[in-house]
Amino acid sequence: MPDALSILVIDDNAIRASIIEAGLREAGHDRVRVIVDVEDVDAQIGAIGPDVVIIDLENPNRDVLEHFFSLSRSLKRPIAMFVDKADLSSIEAAVDAGVSAYVVDGLRKDRVKPILDMAILRFRAFSRMQDELEAARSELQGRKVVDKAKGILMQSRGISEDEAYALLRTTAMNQNRKIAEIAQSVVTAAELLGP
């Protein structure tokens, strides 16, 4: 059995980093290190000497990493990005997911590919989670605005809560807009007109 791969995850998003780390450990990799604080990242990598580096694409330290790798190339430890230079589809999938990987040259593709695939999956799952969180947040925000707008309508027009809601809904349908948008304009108008 070949030696266990040493994997380094560099990500300034601590939650995402831990999701990747967990995935790697589940897959049986126990030599996983995570760097969240990227200050002095080159010195830390020098000390760790990883076989595979996984880094988020938004990380400005990619240029630092590549410089570091180019130095190690002169130490006869060539490192190439991704699994295979020619494997464009896998590179595209990685970039689309927002992750990049650097791999010690000469590692067998079948050993590294699953690691990259897992990282891609987890990055995608994380961004889906972010989107859902964002959607939930804006929905909550929307509900608050609708409640406020209902209150304003109830008070200014002397109608019931149900009637206020029906009014918002009909207006939204007539104007082909979302209820939350109509509610927001009611709230804004009320603020402009003052108490």
Q: Residue numbers of the site for other proteins (CB under 8 A)?
A: 39-40, 42, 57-68, 70, 74, 80-82, 85-86, 88, 91-92, 95, 100, 102
Q: Are 182 and 172 in contact (CB under 8 A)?
A: yes
Nearer to other proteins, 59 or 184 (CB): 59
Query: Least distance in Å: CB of 79 to other proteins?
Result: 9
Query: Least distance in Å: CB of 69 to other proteins?
Result: 9
What order of strands is seen across the sheet that includes strand 7-10? 32-35, 7-10, 52-56, 99-104, 79-81
Nearer to other proteins, 7 or 91 (CB): 91
Q: Are 36 and 14 in contact (CB under 8 A)?
A: yes
* CB neighbourhood size of 66 (10 A): 13
Query: Least distance in Å: CB of 100 to other proteins?
Result: 7
Nearer to other proteins, 55 or 164 (CB): 55
Query: Least distance in Å: CB of 28 to other proteins?
Result: 27
Contact partners, residue 109, CB within 8 Å, separation at least 6? 83, 84
Q: Are 146 and 180 in contact (CB under 8 A)?
A: yes
Nearer to other proteins, 88 or 129 (CB): 88
